[in-house]
Amino acid sequence: MDGSVFFKMVVSKGVEANRIYTEGKGETQPVTGDSCKNMGKEHRSNKKLVDCLQPDRRVEIEIIGTQK
């Protein structure tokens, strides 16, 4: 599930959209480092590379609450 799908689902459950913050982390903060380099052409048909990069495909989501 990507961040936009999760965002829409949470909003449909009643959480106000202005309380939800999502940020894609894969390109700016990869967890795989250089371990996926030299695995061939960047293309979705390159299963070995796609599998290696899978941990980087993540979104961090924060739902901002109110403090009482």
Give me the pLDDT at residue 68, please: 52
DSSP state at residue 60: E
The total of structural domains in the chain comes to 1
In a domain, 15, yes or no: yes
Give me the pLDDT at residue 42, please: 82
Give me the pLDDT at residue 21, please: 85
In a domain, 68, yes or no: no
- Cα–Cα distance measured from residue 6 to residue 55, given in angstroms and rounded to the nearest whole number: 18
Give me the pLDDT at residue 11, please: 92
Question: pTM of this prediction?
Answer: 0.54
Domain span at 11 = 3-63
| Model pLDDT for residues 14-54, shown as the tens digit of each residue | 999 999 888 877 778 888 888 888 888 888 899 999 999 88
In a domain, 45, yes or no: yes
- With cut-offs at 50, 70 and 90, classify the pLDDT of residue 66: low
